[in-house]
Structure 1
Amino acid sequence: MRNLTGLLTLLLVASLAHAADAPPLPALKIDPARTAVIGLSSGAYMAGQMQMAYPELFPNATLVAGGPYGCAGGKLDVALGSCMKGTPAPDVAALVASAGKRSAVGDIGALKDLAHARVYLLHGRDDALVAPAVAEAGAHFYEQLRAGTPGLKGMQVHDDGQRAFAHNLPVVATGDDCDKSVTPYLGHCGFDAAGEIFAQMFGKPAHAASAAKGELRTFDQDALRPDGADAFMAETGYVYLPPDCLAGKPCGVVVAFHGCKQNAAAVGTAFVEGAGFNRWADVYDVAVLYPQTRASFAPLNPQACWDWWGYSGADYDTRHGVQLRWLVNAVRALGLPAGH
């Protein structure tokens, strides 16, 4: 027993020392007019949740292979069925009505803050994991929200679902995995999804992207726990800083959410370095935050997915959700002004 206690103590000390190795997020001069959330799969659902819960911070969102906000309703069986396979199809009208009610009571943000939102929904027609019909339901959610909510006529919704790729994020290089869903879920499709995403979020680029010239840094995620609560995050996250941001110039901020089994513990830096976002971040002068979840069995999340069905608590997709509050802490630490 004494040996076991000693081993556990050593493991705890080693864990704490490892967490202490990562520095805090750097404080930047963030332009609140240039923000966006981007995500793949569970990360797409998380991006939608962040946008709906805090539209005053992130009115712009890209969902790659994700469905409508509130789809799972806190039920894993619904998440696995209706919200992935599309059987039965998500009830978009009911989800839009629910979002309106949740906004009215303050569980999510004020819908008026989506007045000039840009929403880009990218999904492959060969996706066998998240059915194209589910992603189409995501597009219909925004279209019905825009049509049925006063003041949202200026919301831009672009549904891009006719490209031939599977359940992955397409990258500009070509290869033989575009029609497969295999680790690290970056399909070599000859399509620069990152470039298209940035153009959809921030407009046409001033020039083409080249190799990333900024810095990819790690940061201590545990330091950002909301009121000390466990947000089911890994100890360490990543942030990419373009040269102009490092030089103190105003820069935007993008939060890029990985998908299930795409966190750093599973794929290393493949996503944070290979998705293509960093090259375009240099062009648009935006920092890219790459928060990292962790796998767990209690609560049950063995694939390190973002919480889009309720493993972190019943309020997971509201302003009270622990992962969403963690994210607010992170972007505040990065320099997003408190008035927004």
Structure 2
Amino acid sequence: MRGIKTIGMGVLLIAAAAHADDAAQALPHLKLDPSRVAVAGLSSGAYMATQVQIAYPELFPKAALIAGGPYGCAEGKLQTALSTCMKGEPAPDVAALVAITRQRAQDHQVGPLQDLAHGHVYLLHGTHDNVVAPVVAEAAAQFYEALRKEPGLSGLQVEDDGRRAFAHNLPVAATGDDCSKSVSPYLGHCGFDAAGAVFTQLFGDAPHAATQAHGQLQRFDQNALKPDGADALLAATGYLYVPPDCAAGKRCGLLVAFHGCKQNADAVGQAFVKDAGFNRWADVYDVVVLYPQTRASFAPLNPQACWDWWGYSGSNYDTRQGVQPRWVVNAVKSLGLPIRH
């Protein structure tokens, strides 16, 4: 009987140690190259990526938007988000959104648009998407094309990749029967490696092919990064992927990857942070990947754990004063990204 108790206690101690090793830690301070920093996102994550880019273009001149619409689309109204910005009924008024963005830049609510002069935006969306209509995603491309016509912004690169046949998901390299569906965990087995396309677009041609990820995926404490103590309405724990060379001290790039609605870790486990394909390409390009995580709530109303792209966190949600964009800045600063004041 004593032997059984001893074995049982040993199992418990091992389990406790494993749990402790997996506990959320503070973000590590790494050597990051500010010229190789980007944001990417799917669905609400795409809206978040464009919000962060426009709010802080000096930090995030590169962005990949997958199945998302133009900056400022919802105008702080949930009904507009559900109709114009998802169904395209009516279609987003791109000219009006550009004018709002221009005015916000003049009022210092968002960053100087001139910092996008050498930026790069990759827009990927599927022809079978019935969640965020293709007309909405095309409006996002039109928004950036319109920005290119602003004085001094002709160097902004815009790549619109909207003719691929997939539904509302992030395509992955493997093939399967869910490419034309929008089902959890929203990684469509389409035979197209969207993560690889994102890295190629934002960081240049790959030095060699990606095989499998060899770095470390670690949990970190998101609550430690609250801007001025304000609740950013995020989960307690986020994820960070660090390629081996970056962990060894090499100067590396950074990609902030925003999941979509119902794609947070509480909903799909580690499917997005492990299986989206970003990690193996991160090894090839020496790019650290930050995976922030939202949380579902009913007060404020966000039961699907979306990023805030319609105003549930406050009226300034898509500006430099927004609590979630400020949280992102705190996170990348904590990682070691030089912040220009």
- Residues 87-98 of structure 1 correspond to what in structure 2 (within 5 A)? 87-98=89-100
- Specify the alignment match of 2:34 in structure 1: 32
For residues 339 and 170 of structure 2, the distance between their equivalents in structure 1, rounded to whole angstroms, comes to 32
Kindly indicate whether the alpha-carbon contact (under 8 Å) linking 2:23 and 2:219 is maintained by their aligned counterparts in 1.
Answer: no
Q: Show CA shifts across 1:256-289 (max 9, x none).
A: 0000000000000000000000000001101000
After TM superposition, the runs of 4+ consecutive aligned structure 1 residues lying more than 3 A away are: none
Q: Show CA shifts across 1:188-238 (max 9, x none).
A: 000000001100001111100010010000000000000110000000000
Cα deviation, residue 338, structure 1: 2.3
- Specify the alignment match of 1:215 in structure 2: 216
- Specify the alignment match of 1:136 in structure 2: 138
Q: What do you get for the CA RMSD once the two structures are aligned?
A: 1.2
Amino acid at match of 1:206: P
- Residues 60-139 of structure 1 correspond to what in structure 2 (within 5 A)? 60-139=62-141
- Specify the alignment match of 1:166 in structure 2: 167
For residues 233 and 308 of structure 2, the distance between their equivalents in structure 1, rounded to whole angstroms, comes to 9
- Specify the alignment match of 2:16 in structure 1: none
Is the partner of 2:273 in helix, strand or coil?
Answer: helix
Which structure has the larger Rg? 2
Kindly indicate whether the alpha-carbon contact (under 8 Å) linking 2:59 and 2:339 is maintained by their aligned counterparts in 1.
Answer: no
- Specify the alignment match of 2:317 in structure 1: 316
Q: Show CA shifts across 1:107-154 (max 9, x none).
A: 00000000011100000000000000000000000001111x111111
- Residues 209-288 of structure 1 correspond to what in structure 2 (within 5 A)? 209-288=210-289
Amino acid at match of 1:163: R
- Specify the alignment match of 1:3 in structure 2: none
Cα deviation, residue 22, structure 1: 1.1
Q: Show CA shifts across 1:55-97 (max 9, x none).
A: 0000000000000000000000000000000000100000001
Amino acid at match of 1:43: G
- Specify the alignment match of 1:152 in structure 2: 153
For residues 250 and 173 of structure 1, the distance between their equivalents in structure 2, rounded to whole angstroms, comes to 31
Amino acid at match of 1:207: H
- Specify the alignment match of 1:7 in structure 2: none
Cα deviation, residue 339, structure 1: 2.8
For residues 136 and 286 of structure 1, the distance between their equivalents in structure 2, rounded to whole angstroms, comes to 29
Gaps of 5+ in 1: 1-16
Gaps of 5+ in 2: 1-18
For residues 217 and 333 of structure 1, the distance between their equivalents in structure 2, rounded to whole angstroms, comes to 15
Amino acid at match of 1:128: N
For residues 162 and 339 of structure 2, the distance between their equivalents in structure 1, rounded to whole angstroms, comes to 36
Sequence identity (%): 71
Q: What TM-score, normalized to structure 1?
A: 0.94
Is the partner of 1:292 in helix, strand or coil?
Answer: coil
Matched positions, count: 322
For residues 229 and 83 of structure 1, the distance between their equivalents in structure 2, rounded to whole angstroms, comes to 28
